[in-house]
């Protein structure tokens, strides 16, 4: 079967750094997405990784290791508006997105 | 900007009613998707479509049907709504090509309550 694992919930402090991990076991791999979803809203695109390594985009960075079936999303200089759920999704061999259940990130002042 | 719209943000229906959820995208995307999202379960794919009049079952198609008569519009139909179909329904679209074009763009969602 196909499986994506993320922690259910994480808590961090405003101004700090947090790393959200995602491990996957899928039939094939054609890339990995991270999406952000605020409560009651639609998911919005954050990043896409298809090659190993770190992709940086402002305060957010995403890392991929295909050999380990592992990715993480790194959020720096946390702001209250970063309180949201973060969804990891893998593109499988059929070019379908397989979604993780999401990680709810709570930012405290 | 890609825009995906859904006909209703909130909907309350009674058990046994026929329910139509409409989704429209304005970026000429080939692919369209219907998901439901429930706490702790993440996004689950109900149906998707690669082209007009084409449809494919996702992971949880039971109790649902879809229609795609025009490229920009994808409808989800609950033939006889049941309480276990109370959920957030999200429509998404994507372009059919390589690389990050598999990115899916989501509508705002419809929170459906079946009583």
HSE at residue B32, side-chain half, CA atoms within 13 A, is 31
Q: pLDDT per residue over B15-25, tens digit each?
A: 999 999 999 99
Q: Is the dihedral of CA B81, B84, B90, B93 positive or negative?
A: negative
| B89: closest CA of chain A, how far (Å) | 10
Q: How many residues does chain B have?
A: 115
Q: How far is B77 from chain A (nearest CA, A)?
A: 20
Q: Which two tokens stand for residue B30?
A: 């080939």
pLDDT digits (tens, 9 = 90+) for B40-92: 888 999 999 989 999 999 999 999 999 999 999 999 999 999 999 999 999 99
Nearest to A100 among B42, B99, B108 (CB): B42
pLDDT of B100 > 60? The answer is no
- 3-class SS string, B70-114: ECCEEEEEECCCCHHHCEEEEEEEECCCCHHHHCCEECCCEEEEE
pLDDT above 80: residue B1? no
Q: Give the residue with greater pLDDT, B98 vs B74.
A: B74
Task: List the single best residue of B23, B34, B42, B106 to mutate versus A (max A Cβ within 10 A).
Answer: B42
Phi, psi of A89 (to 5 degrees): -140, 135
Token digits for A62? 């995403």
Q: How confident is the model at residue A79 (pLDDT cuts 50, 70, 90)?
A: very high
Query: Within 10 Å of residue B114's Cβ, how many Cβ atoms?
Result: 19
Please name the member of B43, B45, B102 whose beta carbon is closest to the beta carbon of A95: B102
Cβ-based interface (< 8 Å): residues of B facing A: 4, 40-45, 90, 99-100, 102-109, 111
Instruction: Judge: A41–B108 Cβ closer than 8 Å, yes or no.
Output: yes
- Which residues are CB-neighbours of B92 under 8 A, at least 6 positions away? B4, B32, B33, B35, B104, B105, B106, B107
């Amino acid at each position: 079967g196909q499986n994506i694992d993320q922690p259910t919930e994480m808590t961090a402090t405003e101004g700090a750094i947090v790393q959200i991990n995602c491990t996957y076991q899928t039939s094939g791999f054609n890339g990995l997405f991270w999406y952000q979803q605020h409560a009651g809203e639609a998911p919005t695109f954050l990043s896409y990784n298809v090659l190993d390594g770190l992709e940086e985009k402002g305060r957010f960075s995403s890392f991929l290791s295909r050999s380990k079936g592992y990715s993480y999303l790194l959020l720096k200089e946390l702001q209250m508006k970063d309180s949201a759920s973060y969804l990891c999704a893998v593109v499988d061999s059929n070019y379908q997105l397989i979604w993780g259940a999401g990680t709810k990130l709570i930012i405290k002042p | 900007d890609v825009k995906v719209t859904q006909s209703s943000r909130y909907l309350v229906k009674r058990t046994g009613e026929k329910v139509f959820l409409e989704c429209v995208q304005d970026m000429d995307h080939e692919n369209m998707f219907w998901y439901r999202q429930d706490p702790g379960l993440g996004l689950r794919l109900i149906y998707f479509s690669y082209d007009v009049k084409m449809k494919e079952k996702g992971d949880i198609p039971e109790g649902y049907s879809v229609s795609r008569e025009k490229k920009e519009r994808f409808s989800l139909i609950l033939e006889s709504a049941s309480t276990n179909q109370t959920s957030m329904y999200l429509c998404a679209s994507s372009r059919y090509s390589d690389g990050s074009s598999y990115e899916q763009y989501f509508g705002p969602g419809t929170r459906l309550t079946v009583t």
